[in-house]
Chain A
Amino acid sequence: DIQMTQSPSSMSASLGDRVTITCQASQDIGNNLIWFQQKPGKSPRPMIYYATNLANGVPSRFSGSRSGSDYSLTISSLESEDMADYHCLQYKQYPLTFGSGTKLEIK
């Protein structure tokens, strides 16, 4: 199975900060990675497809990138509505595997 190691598990940042969350894949997944945002009591919402492609309706302050086996989600200027949990998912092969999640709080 492909392991997705996500970091950090939680973080606190100020409004306007640049925030980066990372997932490392244990095997090659190509760019077959999705980033989700999940707010309390809600279903996960896809934010980034295929590692770097912004989903419809997602603000342009969100971006995805890849460096080798490391995949990153970056928020260029944090807004209050970005407070949420973030999850990565590899869909290169079954079993699909998620990262352990990042809880993003606003200072």
Chain B
Amino acid sequence: EVKLVEYGGGLVQPGASLRLSCEASGFTFSDFYMEWIRQAPGKGLEWIAASRNKANDYSTVYSASVKDRFTISRDTYKSILYLQMNTLKPEDTAIYYCAREVRDWGQGVMVTVSS
């Protein structure tokens, strides 16, 4: 059974940094693209970052809204996906989901950016 569990969210001040983690199990982590997707309160879904699979050298892609501030990475030995978020803004406030090829989703973790 595919399982994705996000953690690391919380309340931070504008300009701060935060790292989210997503523990993956039930599949061969290196074989799959992994995504981060977020949802601001009461709003729609927004894709923000992808880590391609091993066959594609784990190359990364970002949305314009987070490029140069967020970094997606993985620890392939621990099967953990990360999202390093720097220079956080109030508009980054959202539930952050990790997903396996947008088909299997974690439960999400809340990030609140506020002073």
Asked if A100 is at the interface (CB within 8 A of a chain B CB), the reply is: yes
Q: Are B45 and A89 in touch, CB under 8 angstroms?
A: yes
Inter-chain CB contacts under 8 Å: number: 40
CB distance from B54 to the nearest CB of A (A): 18
Chain A residues at the B interface, C-beta cutoff of 8 Å: 34, 36, 43-46, 49, 87, 89, 91, 94-101
12 A/B residue pairs, CB under 8 Å, sorted by A = A43-B97, A45-B105, A46-B102, A46-B103, A49-B103, A87-B45, A89-B102, A91-B102, A95-B47, A96-B35, A98-B44, A99-B44
- Write the B26-50 contact mask toward A (1 if CB under 8 angstroms, else 0): 0000000001000000001111001
Chain B residues at the A interface, C-beta cutoff of 8 Å: 35, 44-47, 50, 61, 63-64, 97, 102-103, 105-108
CB distance from A2 to the nearest CB of B (A): 11
CA distance A36 to B37 in the complex (A): 13
Contacts of B64 in A (CB 8 A): 95
Contacts of B47 in A (CB 8 A): 89, 95-98
Q: Are B106 and A43 in touch, CB under 8 angstroms?
A: yes
Q: Are B108 and A43 in touch, CB under 8 angstroms?
A: yes
